[in-house]
Structure 1
Amino acid sequence: MVINETGTVDLRKVAIIGCGFVGSSSAFALMQSGLFSEMVLIDADEERAKGEAMDISHGVPFARPMKIYAGTYDDITDASIIVITAGAGQKPGETRLDLVSKNISIFKSIIPEIAKRKCAGILLVVSNPVDILTYTALKLSGFPENRVLGSGTVLDTARLKYELGEHLGVDSRSVHAFIVGEHGDSELAVFSSATVSGVPISKMCELRGHYNHEENTHKISEAVKNSAYEIIEKKKATYYGVAMAVRRICEAIVRDEKSIMPVSNMMHGEYGIDDVMLSMPAVIGARGVETMVPIQMDEEETERLQKSAKTLRSVIDQAL
């Protein structure tokens, strides 16, 4: 047990609220991770939560000892991380922003339940539209900003690294680049500061025989932005990739890694943006978001980021 400024948390306990495709996949990924020794699953459909807990528990003999069970909000008080995946899923033809009203209503029933139990853990919002819902969770919970973050563009960034790795024929783990802004249609790939093991992306492309930089970067960024739509069209939902993103973020928190990830966090005048939560690289550790990391962007990228922020701000103004 660890006592922080707000109360006591068990670093080895995680709670997941919402047992749909994303919630159950995240629970499965976290069971395999070995990060936690206890996991509680909560869902409006109690039988669904019980079934998922039973099913995932049967894999424990192949992993590490772990207590997995369905519970209630009373079981989350001492969880170090509360992962929120509850909400309506994105349907074919829908944008993430189309989910706003439905999922804000759901959050208005979930977040007060967390707040009134004086939970001392970190809220990790995964439900879409994640930037809007992370902002909603922050305002409804009364938690300090560092303890409320969204999965943001962590998955989009992984998709970008994958696409660049495929394009260049290199290990995607050697690609250093970010998707920033909204986790959605106004997101942008920051190519101006992208590198492959320190080599600027344009130079690396030429080393690998690619010279049509503008055409190629546009094609890759569009593939990343539209990948969720393509997956949803083919299999009705996306969940494995985001489950791995949830696992990675939890890992950085539990191990106090100080890793830099593009999570949804609050802007306070950076790049001319204020009072909006969107994805920008930030140092992630045991306290949640420690500090935002300013990355180099050219003038066009900065303008696009500001436009993305305005899109989110207009939705917030209408919805809250």
Structure 2
Amino acid sequence: MAEVNDRKVAIIGCGFVGSSSAFALMQSGLFSEMVLIDADQDRAEGEALDISHGLPFAKPMKIYAGSYNDIVDAAIIVITAGAGQKPGETRLDLVKKNVGIFKSIIPEIKKRDCGGILLIVANPVDILTYAAAKLSGFPENRVFGSGTVLDSARLKYLLGEHLSIDNRSVHAFIIGEHGDSEIAAWSSANVSGIPLRDFCEMRGFYQHEESMRKIAEDVKNSAYEIIAKKHATYYGIAMSVRRICEAIIRDEKSILPVSSIQHGEYGIEGVSLSMPAIVGRDGVERDVPIELNEAEKEALRKSAETLKDVLENSAGL
């Protein structure tokens, strides 16, 4: 296995999400080398040049367009390649197209015996994370998806707006599928250790069920709303990629709701979905069991069944 360069990242796919992620990572100062790979070599070269021209305002870094041979020593290989979600499309509608693309990308990675971490960002992220784990042969801790990291950030943002408080003081997770069957884990949500319901009442809000339902729906529909207005989402997910990369490179052991293959927790087996997990230098160390009520557990199992059905009937995995 190739020795890993902790200061190197590779991004496969230079569309809106890939190039925005590259820009966010350039600004982060985490890496001193970044290789961009795309089926359209000119696109990769153009993005590398465009981002490189801002380096006099940032930290020294080598940014270039390359090939799969350049990923061997990368600490993190970020995969954003795939068809984007169109207005009116669900993430699961992308399954066949993007699993097909992964069946050409992942074998190229596998044959190079890379020692880094595969971070899957393309949608449907849960299906593609499972596909990447199975097709790459990487240990499961080194293959995971961005999952509901962005959904959870959206939830914190909306709760911060609702309560007129700093959204960084909100601790709440979206779990399950990154998509229509996702679950807001309300029973473990809190604001600086104060249960969410109690904090809402402190701020003069008493219509808990109605407010929670609306906020959860707004989170779930965020991407659809943005896609309807500007045809793609990319800044929020780029910031999520940067956050996950920070946790890995700095070995922070941060708790993030990334998508990884489940093995029996809550009766869920053999499917990839998002649960809070400890993320550090070796990837996913372990899932973190959070408090869920019976309705949330049942919704999580249903989310898993939705994904399993897609895996068996549409993904050809």
Q: TM-score, normalised by structure 1?
A: 0.98
Q: 2:55 matched to 1:75? A: no
3-state DSSP of counterpart to 2:78: strand
Q: In the alignment, what sits opposite 1:148? A: 143
Q: 2:196 matched to 1:190? A: no
Query: Following superposition of structure 1 onto structure 2, how do residues 202-217 of structure 1 map, counting pairs within 5 Å?
Result: 202-217=197-212
CA contact (8 A) 2:149 2:240 kept: yes
C-alpha displacement at 1:7, in angstroms? 3.6
Structure 2: how far apart are the matches of 1:195 and 1:215? 18
Q: 2:175 matched to 1:180? A: yes
Structure 2: how far apart are the matches of 1:227 and 1:288? 28
Out of 82, 87, 94, the position equivalent to 1:92 is 87
Which runs of no fewer than 5 residues in structure 1 stay unpaired? 1-5
Q: 2:105 matched to 1:110? A: yes
C-alpha displacement at 1:266, in angstroms? 1.2
Structure 1: how far apart are the matches of 2:261 and 2:295? 22
Structure 1: how far apart are the matches of 2:232 and 2:238? 12
Residues 167-194 of structure 1: per-residue CA shift (max 9 Å, x gap): 0011000000000000000001001010
Q: 2:252 matched to 1:257? A: yes
Out of 124, 128, 143, the position equivalent to 1:133 is 128
Q: In the alignment, what sits opposite 2:31? A: 36
Partner amino acid, structure 1, of 2:224:
Y
Out of 190, 195, 199, the position equivalent to 1:200 is 195
Residue identity over aligned pairs, in percent, reads 75
Structure 1: how far apart are the matches of 2:150 and 2:102? 22
Structure 1: how far apart are the matches of 2:169 and 2:113? 41
3-state DSSP of counterpart to 2:160: helix
Out of 244, 262, 266, the position equivalent to 2:239 is 244
Q: In the alignment, what sits opposite 1:298? A: 293
Q: In the alignment, what sits opposite 1:231? A: 226
Structure 1: how far apart are the matches of 2:54 and 2:96? 37
Structure 2: how far apart are the matches of 1:300 and 1:267? 19
- Stretches of 4+ moved more than 6 A in 1? none
Which runs of no fewer than 5 residues in structure 2 stay unpaired? none
3-state DSSP of counterpart to 1:266: strand
3-state DSSP of counterpart to 1:93: coil
